[in-house]
Structure 1
Amino acid sequence: MPIRLDGSCHCGAVRFSCDSHTPQPYQRCYCTVCRKTAGGGGYAVNIMAVASSMRVEDPDGARRVYRAEFVDAEGGPFTSSAERSFCSRCASALWLWDPRWPELIHPFASAVDSDLPVPPENAHILLESRAAWVAPQRGAADGCFDSYPAQSIEDWHRARGLWID
C-alpha cells in the first residue's frame, strides 16, 4: 500500500495529500527553474505520487500555477507544459504536474509535512544548469548527471527495493 504524504505551504493556506509508491526524496534538481522557484541549497527535491490520489484544501484560493518560459535552440520562446503550483500568499513551492504524464504528480519534499525516509543515496540532476556558487554535497554513492538520468524515479526505487506496493 502506498504511503500517504501530507503537505502544506508555509502559511497554511494550502494543504494537500497524495499517495506515493516512491517516497524517497533522492533527486536533487539543479535546473534554473527549480533553483529559482523552489530554491534551498541551489536545488529542489521532488517526489513522485499518484495524481488521482491528490486532494487539495485551498478554501481561499491561494494556490496559483506557474509555467516556466524558455528559449529554444533557435532563439524562439516557448512555455513549459509543466504546471508548478505555489501559494500566492507565502510563495511556497508545492508540487509539479505535467500533462505529458497525467497519472503522476510531483510534490516538493520541502512542502511535505509527513516524515520522509532518508534515501540511501542521492542523484544530483541537471548539474549543467547549476549556479556557479553551488557546490553539490555529494555522498560516496551519489550519482551525478548533467541532464536527466536514464533511470526513472520508479526504476530507481524498484532497483533498490524501495518501491512501496
Structure 2
Amino acid sequence: MHFGMHSHTPQPYQRCYCTICRKTAGGGGYAINLGALTKGMHVEDPHKAIRVFHAEIMQEDGACERSTAERNFCSRCATALWLFSPEWPELIHPFASAIDSDLPVPPSSVHLMLKYKPSWVVPQVGPKDQTFDLYPEQSIDDWHRSRGLWLK
C-alpha cells in the first residue's frame, strides 16, 4: 500500500497528546499530523487493506460521542495513515510517522492537548516551542505562513 499527496504545510511541528492520537499513532506519547489537500491525493492499495476507525470521545460529563473524523489505517500492518474529517472535506492530515520520504525539520514544535498527556510522558519542549492544554488558535496553515514555510 502506498499513498501520496501534495502539502503546502509539510513541517512536522505539531505534537498532539490527546488520548486518541497517542493511542492510535503515538509511540512517544504523542502523534504528529501534517496538513495536505485531498485534491491530488493518490492511493495505491492493491490488497484493499485500508480501514477506517471512528474513535469514541469521552466527554467531561462521562457521555461518549462517536467522532466524525475518519482515522485511516492499514489492516495489514496497523500503520496509522491519515485523518480525514468530513467537516473539512478539502483537507487530509497524514501522520508524519507514515511518511517514508524526507520531511523538513521544523524550527520549533507546538505541543497541544497536554491536558490529556499521560503521567509517564515528559514532553521535550524546546526553547522556541509553544505548549497548549487544548488547541492553539493558529491553524497548521497559519503556522506555516507566519514562518514563511508555506509551500506553493
With structure 1 as the length reference, what TM-score do the two structures score?
0.90
Identity of aligned residues (%): 62
Q: CA deviation at 1:75?
A: 3.1
Alignment gaps of 5+ in structure 2:
none
* Structure 1 counterpart SS, 2:4: strand
Offset at residue 76 of structure 1 (A): 2.7
In the other structure, the counterpart of 2:3 is: 16
TM-superposed deviation, 1:77: 2.4
1:109 Cα deviation from its structure 2 partner: 0.4
Query: Following the alignment from structure 1 to structure 2, what is the Cα–Cα distance between the partners of residues 39 and 16?
Result: 20
Unpaired runs of 5+ residues, structure 1, are: 1-13
Partner of 2:116: 129
Residue of structure 2 aligned with 1:78, choices 44, 61, 65: 65
Q: How high is the TM-score relative to the length of structure 2?
A: 0.97
| C-alpha separation in 1, matches of 2:151 and 2:79 | 28
Find the counterpart in structure 2 of residue 98 from structure 1.
85
Within 2, Cα distance between the matches of 1:139 and 1:82?
Answer: 30
Distance apart, 1:112 and its partner CA:
0.6
2:60 corresponds to 1:107: no
Please report how far the alpha carbon of residue 114 of structure 1 lies from its aligned counterpart in structure 2 after TM superposition.
Answer: 1.3
- Computed over aligned residues only, the root mean square deviation of the Cα atoms, in angstroms, reads 0.9
Matched residue pairs, number? 152
Q: For residues 122 and 60 of structure 1, what CA distance do their matches in structure 2 show? A: 36
Shift, 1:44, TM fit = 0.3
Which residue, 7, 19, 22 being the options, matches 1:32?
19
SS in 1 for 2:41: strand
Query: Of Structure 1 and Structure 2, which has the larger fraction of its residues in strand?
Result: 1
Q: What is the Cα deviation at residue 71 of structure 1?
A: 2.8
Aligned to 2:36: 49
Cα distance in 2 for partners of 1:16, 1:120 equals 26
Q: Which amino acid aligns with 1:126?
A: M
- Give the corresponding residue for 2:139: 152
Task: State how far apart, in whole Å, the 1-side matches of 2:107 and 2:5 are.
Answer: 23
Runs of 4 or more above 4 Å deviation: none
